[in-house]
């Protein structure tokens, strides 16, 4: 390995970070900790009432040109670690050292001033990331061309859609040639065409020697393009190594139900959940509720992992809180934020108050290949139908090392035989 590629860009040494769920107690603890730091004592080393470890004894070394897919279930501590590396929050113990310039996308549109224009925000964000105005001048046309924001660049950012902010934010962070690029699930909200464009550009950055840490739940193209896999579980490092083995370990980890709420992320937006259980709260208008969406095997047992070509079943339970008419069901299978398929229950149905009904969706021979997929159940009502309740869950497919996303029915035939003199 060359000296350049052996250079350490990020060094995380035994880093821990704790948070408190109760707001008032958290403010009180914050004052106490500031007073302790003022006299040189530092934060308290143990948990106080209401506190939990978001990250515990985490160590990580990132060399130049390494690209890391940082994965784990909701609440594993991934976002907290990324924010500490970025410098947005301080660790309670341990040390983080970053060498070189850093580009970061840890939150959609973070750091944008809504009153200022897109152009002004480009320069301000670049300055915050440590880039001189002359460097931005050289790269501005390239940034605008990639983001597709040339026509709106002088408009106030408050007029931008979330997709426009995502495109501009990515272009700023990635097109100034940072030594380290941090990304935290921000591309999940972009449109399909722009995500594909970003994936191709990230692969180019990897080949050019940029160190990249990508937080993702999606075991698709970009995770497989990384040359290293790191899995976190309940604030600790669960696995650090080769991508293929990491994919297998992550599949295994999905079988384990998160045991308690102590693994919540600091912002409280992520909650621990079993991979085969409901992952989001319902959206209900009161008449009827989609209570559960569960992936099972052929025997009806919950199955977070399905073998390729085996039977996939999804059970959806609906409960009526009042008499409900003109109900219908939809099921979608998604991957990397894109819809792979949608299926509709063939009949409109009615339910009486207090009634519970269960529906089963079946694919006899699953054509999907290795990866993690999202299943979204949707309960609709009325004409035209509108969503009144929604649930989702995830499952993994194991198909060995076969490349691709799915298989299609096919056959091979020799059309002609060429004789050789």
3-state helix/strand/coil string of 211-250: EEEEECCCCCHHHHHCCEEEEEECCEEEEEECHHHHHHHH
- pLDDT tens-place string over residues 56-70: 999 999 998 899 989
Two structure tokens written together for 282: 């319902």
pLDDT tens readout for residues 390-404: 888 889 888 877 777
pLDDT of residue 224: 64
C-alpha dist (Å) from residue 119 to 112, 113, 177: 11, 11, 19
**What is the arithmetic mean of pLDDT over 218-245?**
81
- When comparing pLDDT for 286 and 230, which is higher? 230
Residue 258 has pLDDT above 70, yes or no: no
Average pLDDT of the chain is 81
Residue 256 has pLDDT above 60, yes or no: no
Least confident of 247-256, 348-357, 376-385, 394-403: 247-256
Strand partners, 368: 406
CATH of 288-398, one of 2.70.50.60, 1.10.645.10, 1.10.3720.10, 3.40.50.150: 2.70.50.60
- Is pLDDT above 70 for 270? no
Report, as an integer, the average pLDDT of 140-160.
89
| Average of per-residue pLDDT across 120-132 | 84
Q: Decide which of 6 and 182 is more confident.
A: 182
Judge if the upstream peptide bond of residue 384 is cis by omega within 30 degrees of 0.
Answer: yes
| Contact yes or no for 165/112 (Cβ under 8 A) | yes
- So what's the pLDDT on residue 217? 65
User: What pLDDT band is residue 243 in, cutting at 50, 70 and 90?
Assistant: confident
- pLDDT over 70, % of the chain: 84
Does position 115 have pLDDT exceeding 70, yes or no? yes
Place of tokens 């310039």: 101
Task: Please determine, for residue 219, whether its predicted confidence score (pLDDT) is greater than 50.
Answer: yes
288-398 and 8-100+179-263 share a CATH fold: no
Q: Are 66 and 241 in contact (CB under 8 A)?
A: no
Q: Which residue has the higher pLDDT, 257 or 341?
A: 341
- The residue among 247, 369, 248, 374 whose CA lies nearest residue 314 is 374
Does 88 or 197 have the greater pLDDT score? 88
| pLDDT given at position 112 | 84
Upstream peptide bond of 45 is cis (omega within 30 degrees of 0)? no
Q: State both tokens at 421.
A: 């003199």
Q: Which residues 6+ apart lie within 8 Å of 171 measured at CB?
A: 143, 144, 146, 147, 149
Most confident range, picked from 31-45, 92-106, 204-218, 359-373: 359-373
CB atoms within 10 A of CB 406: 15
Q: Shortest CA distance to 246 belongs to which of 232, 230, 222, 268? A: 230
Task: Give the C-alpha separation, 211 to 283, whole Å.
Answer: 40
Q: In the numeric block, which tokens belong to residue 397?
A: 């497919």
Q: Is 164's pLDDT higher than 80?
A: yes
Check residue 192 and give its pLDDT: 63
What's the pTM value of the predicted model, to 2 decimals? 0.61
Give percent above pLDDT 90 in the chain: 25
Q: What per-residue confidence (pLDDT) applies to 222?
A: 63
> CA 61, CA 46: separation in Å to the nearest integer?
26
More confidently predicted of 107 and 184: 184
**Domain ranges (residues) in the chain:** 8-100+179-263, 288-398
Mean pLDDT calculated for residue range 346-353: 90
Higher per-residue confidence, 419 vs 159: 159
Confidence class for position 257, pLDDT limits 50, 70, 90? very low
Q: Which CATH number fits domain 8-100+179-263: 3.40.50.720, 3.30.450.70, 3.30.70.380, 3.40.50.300?
A: 3.40.50.300
What is the rounded CA–CA span in Å between residue 69 and residue 231?
Answer: 8
Give me the pLDDT at residue 128, please.
Answer: 78
Distance CA 64, CA 235 (A): 25
Q: Among 76-90, 261-275, 335-349, 405-419, whose mean pLDDT is lowest?
A: 261-275
What's the confidence (pLDDT) of residue 103? Answer: 80
What pLDDT is attached to residue 191?
Answer: 61
Do 65 and 8 meet the contact criterion of CB atoms below 8 Å apart? no
């Amino acid at each position: 390995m060359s000296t350049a590629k052996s250079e350490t860009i990020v060094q995380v040494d035994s880093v821990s970070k704790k948070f408190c769920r109760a707001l008032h107690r958290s403010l009180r603890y914050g004052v106490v900790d500031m007073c302790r730091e003022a006299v040189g004592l530092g934060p308290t080393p143990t948990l106080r009432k209401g506190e939990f470890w978001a990250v515990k004894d985490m160590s990580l070394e990132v060399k130049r040109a390494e690209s890391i897919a940082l994965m784990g279930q909701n609440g594993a501590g991934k976002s907290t670690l990324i924010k500490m590396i970025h410098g947005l929050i301080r660790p309670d113990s341990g040390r983080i050292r970053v060498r070189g310039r850093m580009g970061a996308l840890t939150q959609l549109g973070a750091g944008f001033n809504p009153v200022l224009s897109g152009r002004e925000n480009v320069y301000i964000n670049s300055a915050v990331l440590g880039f001189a105005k002359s460097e931005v001048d050289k790269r501005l046309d390239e940034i605008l061309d990639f983001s597709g924001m040339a026509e709106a660049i002088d408009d106030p950012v408050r007029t931008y859609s979330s997709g426009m902010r995502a495109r501009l934010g990515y272009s700023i962070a990635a097109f100034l040639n940072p030594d380290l690029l941090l990304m935290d699930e921000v591309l999940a909200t972009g449109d399909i065409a722009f995500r594909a464009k970003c994936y191709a550009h990230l692969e180019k950055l990897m080949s050019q020697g940029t160190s990249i840490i990508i937080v993702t739940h999606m075991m698709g193209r970009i995770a497989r393009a990384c040359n290293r896999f790191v899995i976190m579980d309940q604030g600790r490092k669960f696995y650090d190594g080769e991508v293929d083995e990491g994919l297998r370990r992550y599949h295994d980890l999905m079988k384990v139900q998160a045991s308690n709420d102590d693994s919540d992320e600091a912002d409280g937006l992520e909650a621990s959940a079993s991979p085969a259980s409901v992952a989001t709260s319902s959206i209900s208008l009161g008449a009827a509720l989609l209570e559960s969406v569960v992936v099972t095997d052929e025997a009806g047992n919950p199955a977070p992992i399905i073998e390729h070509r085996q039977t996939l079943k999804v059970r959806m339970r609906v409960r009526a809180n009042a008499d409900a008419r003109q109900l219908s069901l939809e099921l979608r299978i998604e991957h990397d934020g894109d819809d792979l398929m949608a299926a509709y229950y063939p009949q409109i149905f009615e339910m009486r108050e207090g009634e519970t009904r269960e529906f089963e969706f079946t694919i006899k021979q699953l054509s999907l290949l290795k990866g993690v997929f999202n299943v979204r159940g949707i309960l609709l009502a009325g004409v035209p139908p509108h969503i009144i309740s929604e649930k989702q869950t995830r499952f993994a497919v194991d198909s060995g090392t076969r490349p691709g996303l799915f298989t299609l029915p096919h056959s091979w035939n020799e059309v002609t035989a060429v004789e050789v003199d």
